[in-house]
């Protein structure tokens, strides 16, 4: 084989040199094979150097394009963000108006959920959720009112409870023996 001279930046010379080796089966004595292997190793090294140079060029182009796209995208994304924020604020105002007009007495107890601000959530659906929230608030108020009224009836028996507690403590009887929590003082 001829002396291998390949310039790293010349793809055509490299391809021509590679084509010389197509279909060749290694034969010959040990020294010839050793020389051929050395030539092929140099050729392989040239291919790798060229490959890495091309990859670097592609990466550099990609990075340049990526940076340019980022420059163009940033103001667009900023505008989109500002529009979405304005829409959310308008939606919050509508929700607050609905709450104020319909549930003024308990408006401070109604929570505006983040899901309400999603563009896919309609005002009709939001009103349904708020109405359900108000229903739950009123049910809790009724339960608390019932507990409070029951508590008022029990307060008359506080002295009896204190006497019972004193009896239990003096006789070393624990509330947990009756499946009850201990009373903390």
Cβ-proximal residues to 1 (8 Å cutoff; 6+ apart), any chain? 20, 35, 36, 39
Closest CA to 130 of 150, 111, 154: 111
Per-residue pLDDT reduced to its tens digit, 30-52? 777 888 888 888 878 877 887 88
| Percentage, residues of the chain above pLDDT 90 | 22
Query: pLDDT higher for 86 or 18?
Result: 86
Task: For 97-152, write each residue's pLDDT tens digit.
Answer: 999 999 888 888 888 888 888 888 999 999 999 999 999 888 887 877 776 666 65
Please report the pLDDT score of residue 16 as a whole number.
Answer: 73
Both tokens assigned to 15: 């391809």
The beta strands (E) that lie in 82-154 are given as none
**For residues 56-94, b (16+ Cβ closer than 10 Å) or e, as one string?**
eeeeeeeeeeeeeeeeeeeeeeeeeeeeeeeeeeebeee
Q: What Rg do the C-alpha atoms of the chain give, in angstroms?
A: 42
Cα separation, 181 vs 174, in Å, equals: 9
Across all residues in the chain, what is the average pLDDT? 78
pLDDT at 7: 43
pTM of the model: 0.47
């Amino acid at each position: 084989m001829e002396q291998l001279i390949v310039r790293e930046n010349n793809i055509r010379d490299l391809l021509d040199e590679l084509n010389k080796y197509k279909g060749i089966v290694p034969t010959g004595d040990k020294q010839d094979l050793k020389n051929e292997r050395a030539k092929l190793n140099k050729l392989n090294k040239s291919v790798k150097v060229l490959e890495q140079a091309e990859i670097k060029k592609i990466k550099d182009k990609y990075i340049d394009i990526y940076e340019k796209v980022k420059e163009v995208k940033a103001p667009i994304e900023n505008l989109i963000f500002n529009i979405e924020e304005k829409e959310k604020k308008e939606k919050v105002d509508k929700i607050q108006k609905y709450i104020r007009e319909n549930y003024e007495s308990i408006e401070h107890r109604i929570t505006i959920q983040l899901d309400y601000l999603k563009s896919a959530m309609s005002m009709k659906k939001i009103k349904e959720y708020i109405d359900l929230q108000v229903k739950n608030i009123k049910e809790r108020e009724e339960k608390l009112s019932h507990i409070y009224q029951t508590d008022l009836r029990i307060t008359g028996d506080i002295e009896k409870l204190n006497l019972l507690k004193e009896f239990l403590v003096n006789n070393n009887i624990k509330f947990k023996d009756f499946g009850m929590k201990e009373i903390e003082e």
